């Protein structure tokens, strides 16, 4: 799967976003080292803190299926009905990713037509992991 295809998978997953409160729709696509794809969208709740982001939906779907080794993540987000814009993962999602992915893990942000590649270490420097205790 190419980087552009992974971004497209994130964009497609975004269509399932359940975001009646923020009207901000996010999709994520996570590919495992074995090449299997897991996608997710944000799922909001009337009790706002019960909301889960697209990135954690994808990650937890994969982990709950037994996956532990990941190759790359793509994220596409933006206001409902608008062309997707750059969307950066929240701190909770960065921390959840750091549990399973190393600092050099690639994270693609933007749209399928224009995206930028970061590492998880760039997004979450000096992270707290199991190696800290
Ligand atoms: N959201 C995500 O799903 N991922 C991000 O990277 C940032 C924010 C969601 C959470 C909430 O449903 C909406 O976007 C607005 O914060």
What is the rounded average pLDDT of the residues 74-79? 97
121: which residues sit within 8 A by CB, 6+ positions away? 102, 103, 104, 105, 127
Catalytic annotation, pick one of 3, 55, 85, 99 = 55
**Mean pLDDT rounded to a whole number for the chain:** 96
Domain ranges of the chain: 3-132
- Alpha carbons 131 and 34: distance in angstroms, whole number: 25
Q: Which residue has the tokens 């399973």?
A: 100
Q: What are the pLDDT digits (tens) for 12-56? A: 999 999 999 999 999 999 999 999 999 999 999 999 999 999 999
108 lines ligand 1 (CB under 6 A): no
pLDDT of residue 84: 75
CATH H-level superfamily of 3-132: Cytidine Deaminase, domain 2 (3.40.140.10)
Give the confidence band of 68 by pLDDT, cuts at 50, 70, 90: very high
26 lines ligand 1 (CB under 6 A): yes
| Whether 55 is catalytic | yes
22 lines ligand 1 (CB under 6 A): yes
Give the confidence band of 74 by pLDDT, cuts at 50, 70, 90: very high
Give the confidence band of 117 by pLDDT, cuts at 50, 70, 90: very high
- Taking the centre of ligand 1 as the mean of its atom positions, its distance from the CA of residue 26, in whole angstroms, is 6
87-90 long-range contacts, CB within 8 A, separation 24+: 87/26, 88/123, 89/53, 89/55, 89/123, 90/53, 90/55
């Amino acid at each position: 799967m190419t980087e552009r295809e992974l971004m497209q998978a994130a964009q497609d997953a975004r269509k399932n976003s359940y975001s009646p409160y923020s009207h901000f729709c996010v999709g994520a696509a996570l590919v495992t080292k074995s090449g299997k794809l897991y996608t997710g969208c944000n799922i909001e709740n009337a009790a706002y803190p019960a909301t889960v982001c697209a990135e954690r939906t994808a990650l937890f779907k994969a982990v709950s299926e037994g996956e532990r080794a990941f190759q790359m993540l793509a994220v596409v987000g933006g206001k409902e009905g608008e062309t997707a814009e750059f969307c950066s993962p929240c701190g909770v999602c960065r921390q959840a990713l750091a549990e399973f992915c190393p600092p050099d893990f690639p994270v693609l942000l933007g749209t399928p037509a224009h995206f930028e590649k970061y590492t998880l270490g760039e997004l979450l420097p000096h992270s707290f992991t199991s190696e800290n205790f």
